[in-house]
Structure 1
Amino acid sequence: MASSGQTARRRGGSLRLLRDIAIIIVAALIASFLVRSYLVRSFYIPSASMENTLLIGDRVVVNELVPGVVPLQRGDVIVFKDPGGWLSAGEGNDLIKRVIGLPGDHVSCCGTTGQLSVNGHTVPEPYVVVPAGTNRVSSTNFQVTVPQGKLWVMGDNRYDSADSRMHGFVPVSDVVGRAFVITWPVSRWNLLSRYPASWDAVPKP
């Protein structure tokens, strides 16, 4: 038969265990909140402008350390706030496109091969949706130099994307973060590539 002292010690041990479990749960909830609030966020894809990389209904997770801590790179898929006039009323305030030109870059399209050129280098873009009967990665020609503090962005579904070709440059300060993984639906789970084989060969401006 246990003495009153042993019973008290057991009760005290149980209370400490419950206290430790409670502390762990609270710490985990706080950490989860901080991660969701300051490091990563989930976004829903409402349009076809990034097909076939992203489909309507996909959900992506965005790294909000980009570009504040981690620098932007050409080829990154980014979420950014509407700089003004990109979205109609009721369409939300965030857009998702691929970074094509960084500050100082000279971006042009389309050459004799129908491809994009950045700083005089032709960029192969295997992710771009091109309609049958053409090899042009854009329906319109353009030639721009990206100002400091700005980005040139385009959708992967170029023939169904309202992007920098229509609306101009995106301020770097409007970037929410870099999308790096599709999380929903489960059948679509995949890491998002910036296609380094295509973009790392681009020379500095």
Structure 2
Amino acid sequence: MLSEKLFRVLRTLKREPWSAARVVGWKVLHLANIACAVHMLSYFGTISTMTGPSMLPTLANEGELVFENRWSHRMHPESLRRGDLITFRSPLDRNRIVCKRVIGFPGDIICVDPTGQKAPSTEHVEVPKGHMWVMGDNASISRDSRDYGPISMGLIEGRLSARVWPLSKFTIFRNPTVHLDQ
């Protein structure tokens, strides 16, 4: 049975070699188009997994998927706000993407560690131009700007827009932060 089908295909190839090549060529072209489309879409947004305890209770330790908007902050950097959840390349390991909450922007004066766990609670720093201050929601175990200082805005990969899985916990991340001026 299999040899019969193979014989039929080989006979067709012998009579019309270009028709088979054309079919294969079109299939390869369609696959290449799909791969290009997926690659292009990754510049606009992507579904990512977030793992680790540093963003508890906002994000679970594991098992949650989030939609990461990778376009808006590139086109409109001013769209980032205090309180936004962002992903960025870790200053300690550029191959690692981490998620933290934006706390301060250039010119802001930040209390380095209000809890006093990682630095004296009286220590303050001014966020330099082109940088931002980020912290994990679970401050007691988070490695964040208290450890590596302000991060360069060039390290930012995206802004989290929504938790999409599990469906029972679907959440659109709205920025609840209110900035108090002095």
**TM, length-normalised to structure 1:** 0.62
Where 2:162 maps in the other structure, the secondary structure is strand
**1:54 pairs with 56, 59, 65, which one?**
59
User: Residues 168, 55 of structure 1: CA spacing in aligned structure 2 closer, same or farther, 3 A cutoff?
Assistant: same
What is the count of residue pairs matched by the alignment?
A: 146
Deviation string, structure 1 residues 14-65 (Cα, Å, up to 9, x no partner): xxxxxxxxxxx99xx6896366322101221110101110112211111112
Structure 2, unpaired ranges of 5+: 1-29
Partners of 2:40 and 2:165 in 1: CA distance: 19
Asked if 1:44 is matched to 2:49, the reply is yes
Is the contact made by 1:139 and 1:158 (CA closer than 8 Å) also made in structure 2?
no
**1:148 pairs with 129, 147, 156, which one?**
129
**1:98 pairs with 88, 91, 101, which one?**
101
Structure 1, unpaired ranges of 5+: 1-24, 111-115, 117-135
User: Residues 59, 108 of structure 1: CA spacing in aligned structure 2 closer, same or farther, 3 A cutoff?
Assistant: same
Partners of 2:61 and 2:50 in 1: CA distance: 5
Which residue identity lines up with residue 175 of structure 1 in the other structure? I
CA RMSD of aligned residues (A): 2.7
Q: How does 1:158-177 map to 2 (within 5 A)?
A: 158-177=139-158
Deviation string, structure 1 residues 140-197 (Cα, Å, up to 9, x no partner): 423110000111000011112111001111100110010010011222211112214x
Partners of 2:53 and 2:65 in 1: CA distance: 13
Partners of 1:184 and 1:173 in 2: CA distance: 29
Alignment-derived partner of residue 81 in structure 1 = 89
Q: Which has the higher helix share?
A: 2
Alignment-derived partner of residue 175 in structure 2 = 194
Is the contact made by 2:112 and 2:125 (CA closer than 8 Å) also made in structure 1?
no
**TM, length-normalised to structure 2:** 0.69
Select the structure with the greater relative contact order (CA < 8 A; seq sep ≥ 6). 1
**Structure 1 residue ranges, 4+ long, deviating more than 3 angstroms after superposition:** 29-32
User: Residues 202, 68 of structure 1: CA spacing in aligned structure 2 closer, same or farther, 3 A cutoff?
Assistant: farther
Which residue identity lines up with residue 83 of structure 2 in the other structure? G
Partners of 2:134 and 2:117 in 1: CA distance: 15
Partners of 2:160 and 2:141 in 1: CA distance: 20
